[in-house]
Amino acid sequence: MKKWISFPKSAGEYSKQAHCDLPTGTYEREMGKEGFFGPACHFHHQHPPTAWISFDGPLQPHAFDLNELALAGPSPWDAHLLFSNHDTRIRYWQLKDAMTHLVRNADGDELLFIHEGAGDLYCDWGHLPYRDGDYIMLPRGSMWRLTPSSPTQLMLIEATQSSYQLPEKGMVGPHAIFDPAVLETPALNDAFRAQQGNQTWQVKVKRARQLSTLTYPFNPLDTTGWHGDLVACKVNWRDIRPLMSHRYHLPPSAHTTFVARNFVICTFAPRPIESDPGALKVPFYHNNDDYDELIFYHRGNFFSRDNIKPGMMTLHPNGFTHGPHPKAFEVGMKASRTETDEVAVMIDTRFPLDIHEPAQSVEWPGYVDSWKPKT
- Tell me: the pLDDT tens digits for 143-190? 999 999 999 999 999 999 999 999 999 899 989 999 999 999 999 999
Determine the residue type at 338. T
Mean pLDDT confidence for 130-150 = 98
Is the pLDDT assigned to residue 335 strictly greater than 70? no
Shared-domain flag, residues 109 and 140: yes
Q: 324: buried, middle or exposed (CB in 10 Å: 19+, 13-18, 0-12)?
A: buried
Query: Whole-prediction pTM value?
Result: 0.92
Shared-domain flag, residues 117 and 177: yes
Which residue among 204, 237, 270 closes a domain? 237
Buried b (16+ CB within 10 A) or exposed e, 255-264: bbbbbbbbbb
Residues paired with residue 212 on neighbouring β-strands, in sequence order: 205
Shared-domain flag, residues 53 and 81: no
Tell whether residue 246 is among the known ligand binding residues: no
Shared-domain flag, residues 113 and 233: yes
Shared-domain flag, residues 218 and 256: no
Q: Which domain holds residue 292?
A: 27-63+242-371
**12 within a domain of the structure (yes/no):** no
Shared-domain flag, residues 314 and 222: no
Q: Which of 72, 36, 38 is nearest to 264 (CA)?
A: 36
Q: Which residues are catalytic?
A: 249
Mean pLDDT confidence for 324-333 = 71
Half-sphere exposure of 144 (CA within 13 A, CB side): 29
Shared-domain flag, residues 110 and 216: yes
Specify the pLDDT at position 332: 62
Shared-domain flag, residues 338 and 256: yes
Task: Please tell me the total count of domains within the chain.
Answer: 2
Average pLDDT along the chain: 92
29/22 Cα distance (integer angstroms): 11
Helix, strand, coil tally for the chain in percent (to 5): 10, 40, 50
Which residue among 212, 237, 262 closes a domain? 237
Specify the pLDDT at position 333: 65
Specify the pLDDT at position 334: 66
Shared-domain flag, residues 113 and 192: yes
Shared-domain flag, residues 116 and 231: yes
Tell whether residue 322 is among the known ligand binding residues: yes
Q: Which of 141, 99, 149 is nearest to 124 (CA)?
A: 141
Is the pLDDT assigned to residue 65 strictly greater than 80? yes
Q: Minimum mean pLDDT among 128-142, 275-289, 291-305: which range? A: 275-289
Which residue among 174, 208, 237 closes a domain? 237
**305 within a domain of the structure (yes/no):** yes
Buried b (16+ CB within 10 A) or exposed e, 84-105: bbebbbbbbbbbeeebeebbbb
Shared-domain flag, residues 265 and 360: yes
CATH number at residue 267: 2.60.120.10
**What are residue 303's phi and psi, to 5 degrees?**
-75, -5
Q: Which of 340, 310, 323, 307 is nearest to 113 (CA)?
A: 310
Specify the pLDDT at position 222: 97
Specify the pLDDT at position 46: 93
Confidence of residue 337 (pLDDT cuts 50, 70, 90): confident
- Tell me: the pLDDT tens digits for 273-288? 888 888 888 888 888 7
Shared-domain flag, residues 213 and 257: no
Q: Minimum mean pLDDT among 37-41, 229-233, 293-297: which range? A: 37-41
Specify the pLDDT at position 126: 98
Coil vs helix vs strand at 181: helix
